[in-house]
């Protein structure tokens, strides 16, 4: 029986995507101004949270010009939606702690580090989250390179093994995967957290049937 495979399990999944000031992995130099989240069960989006955090009032950090351009950052609109970090963190923590899996694209190489830093800043334990993370970028690489987990290899170890693997001509970004899988979304609106996650949910629904995990 293959009941152990994720494709056959109805888990409570949280999809998460952070838009940040820059690409640094340390809270000393970078923070997520947008934390978008979708609560998904059996492939269906049940609820969403789109959390904007007012780091401007709490730090001397600001978004870089390149990040602002890529994410179409609108300072006036973002500042209207912002809440203090003391309000933003519990909204994120509640869902991450309750979820069976936490799914994101390139989450292992990026978002995981900032999530850990945010938990640490708030004096909250984060270690219980480690084995929940599923990175659709890593799973896409497993699909592209036809790699399966070794016997008794954990999903976490399997993904870390793939996280930095690259090959000329092999594309595993969300836009490339979405078009390959013929997913109908507005690709011009990507790099907004919620829009990215709506695509990510559909990519995961395809990938989990292509890799034996």
* Residue 1 domain-assigned (yes or no): no
pLDDT top residue among 2 and 163: 163
* Residue 55 domain-assigned (yes or no): yes
- The strand pair at 44-52 and 12-20 is best described as unpaired
Per-residue pLDDT, averaged over 94-114, amounts to: 97
Domain residues for the domain of 134 are 6-207
Nearest in space to 21 (alpha carbons), one of 7, 11, 32: 32
Mean pLDDT of the chain: 92
Per-residue pLDDT, averaged over 104-121, amounts to: 96
Q: What is the pLDDT of residues 64-95, one digit of tens each?
A: 888 888 888 889 999 999 999 999 999 999 99
* Residue 212 domain-assigned (yes or no): no
Per-residue pLDDT, averaged over 99-128, amounts to: 96
Q: Dihedrals φ, ψ of 152, to 5°?
A: 70, 10
d(CA 27, CA 46) in angstroms, rounded, equals 31
The total domain count for the chain is 1
d(CA 34, CA 155) in angstroms, rounded, equals 28
Q: What is the pLDDT of residues 163-213, one digit of tens each?
A: 999 889 899 999 999 999 998 877 666 667 788 899 999 999 999 999 988
Position 62 scores a pLDDT of 93
d(CA 22, CA 45) in angstroms, rounded, equals 29
pTM above 0.85, yes or no: yes
* Residue 14 domain-assigned (yes or no): yes
* Residue 148 domain-assigned (yes or no): yes
d(CA 192, CA 188) in angstroms, rounded, equals 10
Query: How many Cα atoms sit within 13 Å of 13 on the Cβ side?
Result: 24
Position 173 scores a pLDDT of 92
Helices (H), 9-152: 65-70, 75-81, 85-98, 111-121, 136-145
In which order are the strands placed within the sheet that holds 133-135? 44-52, 32-41, 12-20, 101-104, 133-135
* Residue 47 domain-assigned (yes or no): yes
CATH number at residue 196: 3.30.420.10
Instruction: Say whether 23 sits in a helix, a strand or coil.
Output: coil
* Residue 213 domain-assigned (yes or no): no
């Amino acid at each position: 029986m293959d009941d152990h495979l994720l494709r056959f399990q109805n888990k409570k999944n949280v999809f998460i995507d952070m838009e940040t000031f820059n690409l640094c992995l340390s809270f000393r130099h970078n923070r997520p101004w947008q934390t978008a989240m979708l609560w998904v069960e059996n492939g269906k989006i049940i609820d969403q949270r789109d959390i904007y955090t007012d780091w401007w009032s709490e730090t001397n950090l600001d978004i870089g010009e390149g990040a602002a351009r890529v994410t179409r950052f609108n300072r006036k609109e973002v500042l209207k939606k912002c809440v203090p970090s003391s309000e933003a963190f519990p909204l994120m923590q509640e869902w991450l702690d309750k979820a069976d899996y936490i799914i994101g694209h390139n989450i292992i190489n990026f978002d995981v580090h900032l999530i850990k830093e945010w938990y640490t800043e708030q004096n909250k334990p984060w270690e219980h989250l480690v084995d929940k993370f599923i990175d659709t970028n890593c799973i896409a690489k497993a699909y592209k390179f036809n790699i399966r987990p070794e016997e008794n290899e954990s999903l976490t170890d399997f993904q870390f093994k793939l996280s930095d693997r690259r090959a000329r001509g092999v594309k595993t970004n969300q836009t490339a995967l979405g078009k390959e899988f013929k997913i109908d979304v507005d690709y011009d609106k990507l790099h907004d957290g919620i829009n990215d996650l709506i695509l990510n949910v559909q990519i995961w629904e395809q990938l989990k049937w292509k890799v034996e995990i």
